[in-house]
Amino acid sequence: MKSLYLTTALALTIATPSVAQPALPEGAIRNVVLVHGALADETGWEDVARLLTQEGYTVTAVSNPLKGLADDVASTKAVLDAQDGPTVLVGHSWGGVVIGEAGDHPNVAALVYVAAFAPDSGETLGALSQSGPPTEGVQQIVPDEKGYLSINPETFPAVFAADLPPERGALMAEGQRPLNGAVFETKAEVAAWHDKPVWYVIANQDKVIDPAAQAFFAERMGAEVTRVDASHAAYVSQPGAVATVIQAAASGK
């Protein structure tokens, strides 16, 4: 079982005992890179990473600064540079925008979107968000004096993580990492999903990104789709289901 290796920007590394490595399916991609979204950090991937490392995958969680698309793509590509071969690149929420840009990296062999945005080149989140009525979660987003966005901590558990225990949702609310609101007007320059195989996990109970919008992204990309009865925090509340989809992407199935 391998460790969850985190980027040098992180303080947390999960060490695991040195034991015999499980055998991956023949031809499976071994490397997995996980990209968090806005209002969250890399630690939310911990259970997904644990399940994958137990199966023999090498997993790295990126810590993105959330200051802008270029910065987050640079952080993700730095992690991709460090991979020793083909990699499955996974993104949640805002992380979907990031993996669409960073996914043109030569080490990326497959993309997995988890309740994530998936703009085409030339599109902005602002325009995509205005294509339908604001969700309950979006209505709870508030800017600070510098234009960074977060969700009202009092309503965060209900709109972001309704299927998690209330105390876990409250901890996530307290640990929010705000997103620079300017990213909503930043045009996507790359849409790697045009050239890479794609899997998509739709969160049926998502109150932040409308499940109908997720279905639109998935259909437009020609993605292999899995639906889970989960909140926007599907990667936290349904780690087994998400890990299974990542393994499917790693095996090309």
Length of the chain (residues): 253
Read off the pTM: 0.92
Tokens of 161: 């993580």
User: Is a pLDDT exceeding 60 seen at residue 19?
Assistant: no
Instruction: State the pLDDT at residue 3.
Output: 36
pLDDT in tens, 133-166: 999 999 999 999 999 999 999 999 999 999 999 9
| Integer Cα distance of 148 and 237 in angstroms | 26
b/e code 82-105 from CB counts within 10 Å (16+ = b)? ebeeebbbbbbbbbbbbbbbbbbb
pLDDT in tens, 29-71: 999 999 999 999 999 999 999 999 999 999 999 999 999 999 9
Residue 20: pLDDT band with limits 50, 70, 90: low
Question: Which architecture characterizes domain 4-131+179-251 according to CATH?
Answer: 3-Layer(aba) Sandwich (3.40)
Instruction: State the pLDDT at residue 7.
Output: 36
DSSP 87-117: EEEEEETTHHHHHHHHTTSTTEEEEEEES--
